[in-house]
Chains A and B, each alone.
Chain A
Amino acid sequence: MGTTYKCCSETDKWVGICDPEDCITDGKTVWISACQCTTEDPGPGGPGDPDPIYPGPSCNEQQNLIDPLKPRWLVIPQGEYYSTSVIPMKYIAGTNTGVKEISVQLRRYGTPHLEICRCSTKSCTGECTVEIVNREQCPNWDDICNIIISHPDLMPVMKANTGPNQNLFIPWHLRVDVIPKWGSTCGADAKYEVKDCDSSCPTPRCTVKEQDCGTGFTLQNTGPYCLAHKATCKQVNGCGKEIDCNEAQCYGPEKNTNPQPPTTPKLKIDGYTYTLSTNENNWTRVRKPLPGKPEDAVKFSVTPQTPPSGTYRNPLFDFTAENMGVGNEWYDEWGNCVGVAGEDFCNHNRQSNTTDFHGEHAGHKSPVEILKEGAAGIIATRYHTQNICNDDRKHSGYMHSRYQVDRLPVVESVEITGNDTTLKGCKATAKFTGLDANNPLTITVTGSDPDGVNDINGLSVWLVKRGVGDLSNDIDEYRGMGSGLTTTNPNEIGMHFEFLERNQAHLYKANNENSANRLAGWGRDADNSQSLGTNKVQSSQGLLIEAATATHRTEGNKKIVTVTLQFPKQESQLIMGEYDVYVGFSDIFTKSKRSAEDGGGKYLDSQNVKNSGKNWSFDFVKPKIENTKLQTLEQKVQKLSWKNTDTGSGPMNTVINAYNNDSIGTEILRTIPSAGNDDLDRIKLQEVPGRTSIGNMPVSSGWKHIPDNVEVTSMTVNTLDLAAGNLRFYITLYDKACNYKHTGEEGEPPPEQNYDRWLSTKGGIFYSQGRVNYKTKDIADFNLGTELLSTGGTSIGTVRQLADDNKNPAIAKNIIDTNQQNRTSLFEELDRKLKNSMSKDLEKITNPLACNNLKGCYFSSENDINIGGTYSGKILIYSEKDITITGELKATSNNDAMFIFSKGNIVVNDGRVSNSTDRIDAFLMAKGRITIAQDADANKNHDQVLIVGGLTAFGIDGGSPAFILERNLGAENPLRPALILNYHPKYTKFAELFFGVDTSVHKREVGFKPL
């Protein structure tokens, strides 16, 4: 539906002519020739007059099939004109019934139309012209259906038709009637008004000036995006009215200007931001990026000097990098966006003020490749913005920022040392640390820094177990450092020593014991952030390093760091096997704090940690000695056997010690295996030392076993003349790390054999001028004595206490015995009496073993006498010198007795071993010494000796003691006394035959009576 008209009346009926002003539209003022009520917008062409008879095709029907959309008025007079105006018109008259005639009429308001032209399809009256529109627009008719009628200027016509009393300056109506060959006459109307003054602008027209655009606008064509209003200039027209007589397009001003170059160039590498210098004489040193990181790990950014808002569009950045490498290796012309080797880049027109530090061309180098140690470069950055009004851009100048990549410190040498010889004298196998050997371990690292030794601020040391540990995931990483708690992987023991003043350092430990086996960070195990923490390194399973300390010093351009690792002295399997040593210095870049802008915190990157090529082995597990046995093969032969076990580095040395607290200095001899050198096989026993001295090397009171590193082995020893004390064997096994274990270490008794030689007496009085120290064994009823045990000394032993008290002796110490006090005169008295007897009652015999004289016989010599055998009778064997009992001396009957009296010494030695008991039925008396001698070499078995009678050694003019027991049963000593002395009272009786009676008297004072 088109515009509705409110016509002259409310009933919408045609009411005739009315004032067009009575036609009120809903916004459009459309005057038609007659006030017609229509619901349709009559359009420029108007509805035309209705044919009252038969309308024929209506105007609308006539215009059917004719391009309805085409505007009918091509030039329509409308608006206001002045008398000087030219008022053309041009109209397409169309009908689908064929145009017959066209009438152009002018009409004054309120007057009938004045026809000014009538045209046929060929010509026109008046000044109108016609033009046939292409016939194709009327396809189905041969007639002309569209014809253009034009008039060049209606003003003269109007003037011509305006009398003197008529007003030209009125609204005029123009009508074009199209008379079809058939149908209604249709047409269109136009309305315009003529003013009596020239309301047009005078000439020349005015020129719109800049200020006409108003504040903030300009006539300058700043661009299509700044189109603003049109500014006009005013002039007074012919009507005296100031009217706009000219106009010009105004534009908004172009605010965009060349921006300032950006500032604050920053290179962010691995989370560290460095503000680069823009001073051409100053190159900012930056860290070397971590290898293996993605290309966006390094970013370059700038801070634009942003123009005021609203003055620009689309700010962009141009980053141009000229990376020159090390020593200008890549130096080329500026702006070569590829560079010599793909190192350069031109990241232009970037919206972001940050760019990755690499190009995007094929074959570009990564940031890590560009920012290698010592490399330098310049990054030129500019900032540009787009105009507000057009698409042109304005650029800032370039800011040149300079960088130089830090050179990492270099490790020049690594030495690993320790004291490979323990306090026990064990020398560890090279490059082994045990509980004592090479513990503590010293690692001396020497290095330098191409950027200056003062850059170096720490040292990382890693112990990595070969074949198990793997630092590949941790080296090229940076991790935070703090005071927190740590647990360290025993297979990857990481330590970082941060240098402090005064050559000191404190320890950070790797916190890398987790399921991912990754380094999580470095901690100090400190109570608080201020504390330096502990110098222990520990894992969740226990302590790894008791104390890890370091000192550092600078010598010239060298940094020398001495790391001391004290491992625990307790057994542990946590650190075991061969470890590679990784070291690396940190400098002020690889270990440093991040700024608050970067998030703060202190970090250490380990890219400089490298395998030093050194390795070291650890073993903190002691070896074991098992199945220790001591076996007596013969009296003097012991066999010691044992088994070596070591789960760590393996057995290395075995030391066998033999001690005897009671036989210090006594020799024993290793026989199997023999070193072939008596000096090595024969040892002098010493007393059991403190535990820390057992097994020491060089070996004292013992041997270094041969071979010393086999698993199951044994040793045979001949105890020679050892006759006292407990022979204790200690086996000490050292592994290659000089960890050791010796028998008896945990309180278990060492294999031992007692060698106490002892004697037993039965009956009679036992007396010794000095102390007595025989270790009587609990064998049968043997005891040191059974009656009186006496000594002039302070001790006598060992005396058993048997269950039958009747068998237990009385003991008297520190006593006086006149037989000892007067032994010289006693012996002389006895000798005198013997001689007297020999000269009177005794029968002299030549066979010392046979006497038939009831009063007794004697065998005497001024020389030494050897005697042995079975005898009968009562016989005195008398020698001015020594007497040797060379064989058993057995009485034939209990009524037989033999007294052996020597003015020298008596030796009991039959010279042969029968592995039984040598029996001597006799009473021995020697002026000097009585010796129960060995009947074989010290290293052979000896026989036990039984003397039934008595033994008296006066010790006159001889050595001390007067009695010597040399017979030694070796390992059988604990089982049998070497000498048994049984008293027989017949000797007390029969002595009278040879020695007469005791005629000594004792004078005693009786009574004392003074006045």
Chain B
Amino acid sequence: MEEALASLVQAILSGLAIGCLYTLIALGYNLTYVVNGTVNMGQGQLVMIGAMLMVTFTTFLDLPFFIALILVGLILGILGILLEVISVRKFVQDKTSVNWVLSTLAVGIILQDLALFIWGPEETRLVSPVGEGMFEFLGAGIYWKELMMIPAVGVFLLLLMLFYLKSHWGLWLRATADNKVATNLNGVNSNYTVAIAFGLSALLAGLAGGLITPIYAVFASMGLSLGLKAIAVAIVAGLNNAKGIVICGLGLGIVEVLVAMYISPGFREMIVYIVVILILFIKPNGLFGTKETIKV
């Protein structure tokens, strides 16, 4: 009985840890979707670039962990703005076009190849600033560095909510999403607003990449599979609902481990994606997403 309880607690703790990873990445999709209905399909590769820069700054330049993290966030923010200008802006002028899917995907692949050229294919990991100790609970364990991801997700969500509700940029961002023409007429350049949304989304990706370096292996081709899993989280939650993304991200992590433990690891992906399809079949806008009303 005790062993069964320990296994269950372990599954939940491990699921939370992996769920935090998905959530941190998935939150980045929310910002861009809200403002112009697009997502960066190369978001996973931005996370990878963030992680790689983090390794470079801390290992080769000897920068302290949190200084390096801020620097990574800023660099990725600028990269996100450039990405919007190069691979999104032109392609969303035609509302029916989905060329932005291909162009952002292409940028992701270019970034991956570039990373492979600069850093090579080796996997690496950073030493955690909170140490390598473990928190033990009811016979189960989770590393402190994994546990720290939960408040990190909370802080990310809080900052995002504050940004939307309290800042001018957040207001303009929501206004642009609501009516681009009217926003432009009121003197707000919607191009800037969209670029800032992409910048912030990339900044989040950079911070996520930096934060996971003490926990997971960092390597040039890590981005694609992470990005795919995170976009599944964002779509199931509803791309326009940040809180929903957090709930679904953590939930997906836990469900994955539970399926692997009590059914079979081989069915983990299959069952998770069957659930994804079922949810979208019943709620096409995702579990927490709201349908946009079209004014006529």
Chain B binds chain A: no
Interface residues, chain A, with chain B CB atoms under 8 Å away: none
Interface residues, chain B, with chain A CB atoms under 8 Å away: none
